[in-house]
Amino acid sequence: MIEKLLALVPAEFSPLTPKLFAAILAQALCQALAYLLLVPVLEALFGDDLPRAWFWALLMLLAVGAVAVSGYLQTIFGLRIAVGMQRGLQTRIGDHLNALPLGWFETHSAGTLSRLTVENVREIQQALAYLMAKVLNSVVVPLGVAVGMLFVDWRISLAMLLSAPVLLSVNNLAARSYAAADARAHTAAAEADARVVEFAQAQPVLRSLGAVGAGNRALDSALAEQKSASTRVLFASVPGLMVFSLCVQAVFLVLAYIVVNRVTGGSISVPAAIALIAVSARFIEPLNLAAQLGNGLRGAAAAVDRLTELLNEPTLPEATEPVTPGVPGVEFDEVGFSYRTGEQVLSGLTFSVAPGTTTAVVGPSGAGKTTLLRLAARFHDVDSGRVTVAGHDVRDQPSETLLNQVSPVFQNVYLFNRSVAENIRIGRLDATDEEVRRAAEAARVDEIAQRLPEGYDSVVGEGGSLLSGGERQRVSIARALLKDAPIVLLDEATSALDPHSEASVVRGIHELTRGKTVMVVAHRPATIAHADQILFLDGGRIVERGTHAELLKLGGRYADFWNERSRAGGWRLEQTVG
């Protein structure tokens, strides 16, 4: 655990870790020495040898002073490392998350990530600043006392040393039970966190459908499971603590028996026996403290394992050699891809998008249409074949170079809980206010800003909750317009919008795609009909390709798809006479 913990310490604070351990070791050894010096002090006092008593008492005071100084240094070093770790570790987690494939996030909830970056980091901080020093002290002090006791009475020393592996075995048995219960508690807590966030965000939907009770049931179930898991942690830890405490007290009774037996046999003096019983008590006390702190340290160890597992998740390899982008085209060459082993999403896909043209991708749900766009932006790496953007394999381009070439606009738009202007500026952080306004006007975001109380400075709420779906889509188009990349990857999302919103979004899309190379997952018949090339995708393969006129003349899958879309576009409600 210590090795993994130290691996999480930021590089600039690593030089402090040897000093921290040196201070912990010095404090523990000086504390053990102070306990042992009690024997000659009491022997000298009861023997009326005051000069000798003062000599040993002075040494004891020096040992106690060394304990205070080393304890102070240990606290300072531990706090400096822990405080530095919070920012450094959270930054490292953020950087690592940015480098993970998008597919990783589909199987990990926001609640889990929240606990990792907040609760688990706090547990690790506490372990460094407090727990680790206390637990190591609780181990080194008894060991130091046991070794030092060799110079007083080897029998007592042997009893102390033999008790160590017994107590360690009992502690390990308790640790196994606790670790399993703690893992379940972490999972339940992460699920509860996710359900709380979901419940808060879903209030408009739940209330509009009169399903508040159903939403509560999901939340109540998660909270009940968290309570149950926490209870299991308690029941898993308490028996272990009780058994360990009983064993520690048994060891003390054995040590006391040996001391009394040595006194009655005349081997040691009564003053020495009093001191030895006191030292035995000091030998036992840290062991009890270790048991009490053990669960906290085991919890921190579990947090270390979880964070280490996260940071070991494989990232997308980053190209280091700079490349010069060529003409803004896109090519797929025998591309195969799957999100999970054995579940092929795309197979043997080959096509090209010429610069300045529009390629529309159509097909049934689950055919792999959106996956095409994500692969072009390198949200994932292909399993086989290659994807080329602007004349270079996406894997051979530094991320900044590739992302400067593409503007992805997907269906699921996420807006930050900031102002309208700030959400648009994310498209290009160095953009001027005037450039932000021009992009907003082109995407018809100015209409949204006019009705908001603070205009472009109005905060849009978490996830853009204060805006409608069409309004959020317009803000995302404004982002892409501001970025002004030569290649647009568009997952067109107008089918669920009202006519006014759809018209505004379509005008923004026309402005965004003017003169650009476009790959669009098409839903609107007008977009499909005007594409330079149409790919009909099904089962991860291109089953038909051509222009709109060519595919209609073919009378195959696309023609059926087009006819269905045309019929659906003309549906209306009719009054029935009963």
**271 lies in the same domain as 386:** no
Tell me the three state secondary structure of residue 214: helix
β-bridge partners, 407: 488
Q: Which of 265, 280, 311 is the last residue of a domain?
A: 311
By DSSP bridging, strand 517-521 and strand 487-491 are parallel
Q: Which of 311, 338, 368 is the last residue of a domain?
A: 311
- Residue bearing the bigger pLDDT, 441 or 294: 441
User: With bands split at pLDDT 50, 70 and 90, how would you rate the model's confidence at 252?
Assistant: low
- Residue bearing the bigger pLDDT, 499 or 370: 370
Q: What's the confidence (pLDDT) of residue 214? A: 47
- Residue bearing the bigger pLDDT, 255 or 201: 255
In a domain, 575, yes or no: no
In a domain, 177, yes or no: yes
**302 lies in the same domain as 388:** no
Question: Cα(379)–Cα(507) distance, rounded to whole angstroms?
Answer: 28
Q: Could you tell me the CA-to-CA distances from 318 to 99, 129, 188, 217, 315 in Å, in that order?
A: 9, 36, 35, 44, 9
Q: What's the confidence (pLDDT) of residue 574? A: 44
Q: What's the confidence (pLDDT) of residue 178? A: 54
Which of 39-48, 69-78, 80-89, 329-338 has maximum average pLDDT? 329-338
511-532 pLDDT, tens digit per residue, is 878 888 999 887 777 668 888 9
Range of the domain at 250: 2-311
In a domain, 324, yes or no: no
Q: Which of 311, 342, 361 is the last residue of a domain?
A: 311
CATH number of the domain enclosing 361: 3.40.50.300
CATH number of the domain enclosing 88: 1.20.1560.10
In a domain, 317, yes or no: no
Q: What's the confidence (pLDDT) of residue 571? A: 45
Q: Could you tell me the CA-to-CA distances from 266 to 156, 269, 278, 543 in Å, in that order?
A: 15, 7, 19, 100
Residue 489 scores a pLDDT above 70: yes
Q: What's the confidence (pLDDT) of residue 375? A: 92
152-168 pLDDT, tens digit per residue, is 777 777 777 777 777 76
Average of per-residue pLDDT across 111-140: 77
Mean pLDDT lowest for which of 176-190, 287-301, 376-390, 526-540? 176-190
Q: What's the confidence (pLDDT) of residue 59? A: 92
Tokens of 111: 């609640």
180-230 pLDDT, tens digit per residue, is 555 555 555 555 555 555 555 555 444 444 545 544 555 566 556 556 655
Residue 16 scores a pLDDT above 80: yes
Number of domains in the chain: 2
Q: What's the confidence (pLDDT) of residue 129? A: 76
Q: What's the confidence (pLDDT) of residue 247? A: 73
Q: What are phi and psi of 412, to 5 degrees?
A: -85, 100
Print burial letters for 448-469: b (CB count within 10 Å at least 16), e (below 16): bbeebeeebebbbeeebebbeb
19-75 pLDDT, tens digit per residue, is 999 998 999 889 888 888 887 887 787 777 888 888 988 998 999 999 999 989 988
Tell me the three state secondary structure of residue 541: strand
Residue 238 scores a pLDDT above 70: no
In a domain, 576, yes or no: no
User: With bands split at pLDDT 50, 70 and 90, how would you rate the model's confidence at 410?
Assistant: confident
- pLDDT averaged over the chain? 78
Sheet hosting strand 330-340, strand order edge to edge: 343-353, 330-340, 384-389, 392-393
Q: What's the confidence (pLDDT) of residue 572? A: 43
Q: What's the confidence (pLDDT) of residue 208? A: 44
Nearest to 391 by CA among 352, 338, 347, 442: 352
**268 lies in the same domain as 351:** no
Q: What are phi and psi of 218, to 5 degrees?
A: -65, -45
Report percent pLDDT > 70 for the chain.
74
Q: What's the confidence (pLDDT) of residue 382? A: 92
Give yes or no for a contact between 391 and 328, defined as CB atoms under 8 angstroms apart: no
**268 lies in the same domain as 240:** yes
In a domain, 322, yes or no: no
User: With bands split at pLDDT 50, 70 and 90, how would you rate the model's confidence at 573?
Assistant: very low
In a domain, 340, yes or no: yes
**491 lies in the same domain as 363:** yes
**523 lies in the same domain as 428:** yes
**446 lies in the same domain as 521:** yes
Q: What's the confidence (pLDDT) of residue 186? A: 53
**378 lies in the same domain as 302:** no
Q: Which amino acid is located at 505 in the chain?
A: V
Q: What's the confidence (pLDDT) of residue 176? A: 58
**169 lies in the same domain as 255:** yes
**259 lies in the same domain as 359:** no
**203 lies in the same domain as 253:** yes
Q: What's the confidence (pLDDT) of residue 530? A: 82
In a domain, 321, yes or no: no
**260 lies in the same domain as 377:** no
